[in-house]
Amino acid sequence: MFAKIYQPSPSAMQSGRGKSAVWVLEFANNVKKELDALTGTFRSSDTMGQLDLQFETLEDAVSYAKKNNIAHRVVQPKKVKRIPRSYADNFSYDRKLPWTH
């Protein structure tokens, strides 16, 4: 059983940084999924592939993995360079980039 510990990045539909402080312990899916002939959906007998555990800190997630003898890998999040701007900067007279429309 192998697990990956990471901080999920927000989806493309999110502009804020809400719920970005949690750490997720996600188990790797080792069992091949089979196609069900009757319904046309995929099925698997691996229930650990459906399980994602959330922790408040990285240390909590790592200590849980060590306590339960789970081999794990920590993926550090990439830092995003954010430039703070106000909405009024879009209409500034000395704007660096001119309007295109």
Q: Which residues pair with 47 in a beta bridge?
A: none
pLDDT of residue 79: 80
**Strands in the chain per DSSP E:** 2-6, 23-27, 34-35, 42-43, 52-55, 71-75
Q: Report the CATH superfamily, name and number, of domain 2-10+17-81.
A: atu1810 like domain (3.30.160.190)
pLDDT value of position 43: 81
pLDDT at 86: 83
Ordered mean pLDDT values, 10 residues apiece, the chain (101 residues) = 87 71 87 83 78 92 95 89 80 73 55
| Domain residue ranges of the chain, discontinuous segments joined by + | 2-10+17-81
At residue 65, the pLDDT reads: 95
